[in-house]
Amino acid sequence: MRAYTAIDFGTSNSAVCVGCGAHAALIALEQGRDTLPTAVFYNADEQSTVFGRQAIGEYAAGYAGRLMRSLKSLLGSELLDDTTLINGKAVAYRDIIAAFLRHLWRAAQAQNPRAVEHLVLGRPVRFVDDSDERDRLAETTLAAIARDAGFADVHFQYEPIAAAMDYERQLDREALVLVADIGGGTSDFSLIRLGPQRARHDDRSADVLASGGLHIAGTDFDQQLSLAAAMPLLGLGHAGESGKPVPSHVYFELATWHRINFLYTPRALSEAQTLRPFFADSALHERLMRVLREREGHRIAAAVEDAKVAVADGGSAPLDLAFIEAGLRAEVSAADLQRAIATAVARIVDAARRTVAAAGVGAAAIDAVYFTGGSTGLRGLRDALGAAFPGSALVGGDKFASVARGLGVCAARLFG
């Protein structure tokens, strides 16, 4: 019997299944939890590299160092071949991803030393929306990084197809299902025929009627909410004495998880300093500079994300920025969030429609929409997708582990 590993390398969270023969199971990655935030912290005080909740915890505790999040967003971007200065040393971005995958490799290896010989790695339907060539390059690069991390034999599966394989285990009859996996970095769809009879077949390619997706998801919602609710407190939308608005570039960077670190270079800091004449209210500029000098960007992004999750199902919640200045806060309502992300949500619904249209199937033929991925916690998004496919049942899956479990099913079929 062969052993194998399956990894859902997510933009926000990752999970790992280890299996032998037909049986695969999620493994504990940190403090008994089976999902791990996709985060790396290079701690300068301790000269150490830590991962997951520990990485976020040490950053939040105020250790000097560098926090890296949204690593997957680097795949397919021109940044991947660059290096970045971390605690005085030039480190290649791809080596940061390799360090994270190596951490998962160690966890799988500890579970079963033979399991790391074969890997099934999830991938979004699209790493890159507008270029097939760069999209292919992203997969090839991720495979090479996984091999650097220690996995010899690397296969890929689309994340929504993996989620479908997980959902299929609970079906007792055949169904045409649209899987909607709305995560941190991408929204992915597969239209697939599922059922207990079909589950026995090795080759499922004929059952997958279409797959599609786009590079818009939870981190973009964070960005939009940050621009609407947090950045105005730092000067976005304000004007100088002449009435000319403050340039917005710095706010876009500060609102985008994987670009925050760029604002902390000496050059970016001096550029931000030169914005001073654009501010009629100098206190706002000083506040912005304090955030950049004290490297509070990830903390703001995390506070925005917390507020988003708090109002995802309705109601309102405080966006507390007291760590910047005593009393600095805003109130965020579900309606504010809906407004901020309306364009993004419309594009996601459109991608779902196009996936179904590509299969030549009418919306009414779909039996169920299966939701997975953290962002399906947003009621407005579920409602909008539900409205696009009236008559289909809306089924909520395990938001954070369905893809990894399904990748385990795929790996068991390939290697078990």
Ligand X SMILES: Nc1ncnc2c1ncn2[C@@H]1O[C@H](COP(=O)(O)OP(=O)(O)OP(=O)(O)O)[C@@H](O)[C@H]1O
Using rule CB under 6 A, residue 377 touches ligand X: yes
Binding residue for ligand X (CB under 6 A) from 19, 65, 218, 235?
218
CB of 359 to ligand X, least distance (A): 22
Q: What residues numbered 5-44 form the site for Mg ion, per CB under 5 A?
A: 10
Binding residue for ligand X (CB under 6 A) from 120, 217, 351, 385?
217
Stretch that binds Mg ion, among 25-33, 104-112, 172-180, 183-191 (CB under 5 A): 183-191
Using rule CB under 6 A, residue 375 touches ligand X: yes
Using rule CB under 5 A, residue 183 touches Mg ion: yes
Q: What residues numbered 38-97 form the site for ligand X, per CB under 6 A?
A: 72
Stretch that binds ligand X, among 131-139, 215-223, 285-293, 327-335 (CB under 6 A): 215-223
Is 69 or 287 the residue whose CB approaches ligand X more closely? Answer: 69
Stretch that binds ligand X, among 193-201, 304-312, 360-368, 406-414 (CB under 6 A): 304-312
Applying CB under 6 A, the site for ligand X has a residue count of 22
CB of 373 to ligand X, least distance (A): 4
Using rule CB under 6 A, residue 357 touches ligand X: no
CB of 82 to ligand X, least distance (A): 21
CB of 122 to Mg ion, least distance (A): 7
Stretch that binds ligand X, among 22-30, 79-87, 244-252, 369-377 (CB under 6 A): 369-377
For residues 308 and 330, what is the distance between their CA atoms, to the nearest angstrom? 13
Using rule CB under 6 A, residue 157 touches ligand X: no
Q: Is 171 helix (H, G, I), strand (E, B) or coil?
A: coil
Binding residue for ligand X (CB under 6 A) from 160, 183, 380, 397?
183
Binding residue for ligand X (CB under 6 A) from 80, 289, 309, 363?
309
Say if residues 280 and 238 touch (Cβ distance below 8 Å): yes
Stretch that binds Mg ion, among 33-41, 53-61, 112-120, 177-185 (CB under 5 A): 177-185
Token code pair at residue 209: 């009627």
Token code pair at residue 263: 């604002």
Is 43 or 186 the residue whose CB approaches ligand X more closely? Answer: 186
Q: What residues numbered 310-329 form the site for ligand X, per CB under 6 A?
A: 312
Query: What angle is formed at CA 12 by the lines to CA 163 and CA 289, rounded to 5 degrees?
Result: 160
Say if residues 232 and 202 touch (Cβ distance below 8 Å): no
Which of ligand X, Mg ion, none does residue 392 bind (CB under 5 to 8 Å by kind)? none
Which of Mg ion, ligand X, none does residue 12 bind (CB under 5 to 8 Å by kind)? ligand X
Stretch that binds ligand X, among 26-34, 181-189, 246-254, 331-339 (CB under 6 A): 181-189
Count of all residues that appear for the chain in the document:
416
Using rule CB under 6 A, residue 13 touches ligand X: yes
Angle between helices 334-358 and 218-225 (to 10 degrees): 150
Which of Mg ion, ligand X, none does residue 217 bind (CB under 5 to 8 Å by kind)? ligand X
Binding residue for ligand X (CB under 6 A) from 135, 207, 253, 305?
305
Binding residue for ligand X (CB under 6 A) from 374, 380, 406, 408?
374
- CB within 8 Å of 38: residues ≥ 6 apart: 9, 10, 11, 12, 13, 14, 69, 70, 71, 72, 100
Using rule CB under 6 A, residue 400 touches ligand X: yes
- CB within 8 Å of 203: residues ≥ 6 apart: none
For residues 7 and 121, what is the distance between their CA atoms, to the nearest angstrom? 5
Using rule CB under 6 A, residue 212 touches ligand X: no
Q: Is 243 helix (H, G, I), strand (E, B) or coil?
A: coil
Q: How far is CA 298 from CA 90, 133, 226, 256, 394, in A?
A: 21, 32, 12, 9, 34
Say if residues 143 and 154 touch (Cβ distance below 8 Å): yes
Stretch that binds Mg ion, among 2-10, 111-119, 223-231, 275-283 (CB under 5 A): 2-10
Binding site for Mg ion (CB under 5 A): 10, 183
Under the rule (CB under 6 A), what is the footprint of ligand X? 10-13, 72, 159, 183-186, 217-219, 305, 309, 312, 373-375, 377-378, 400
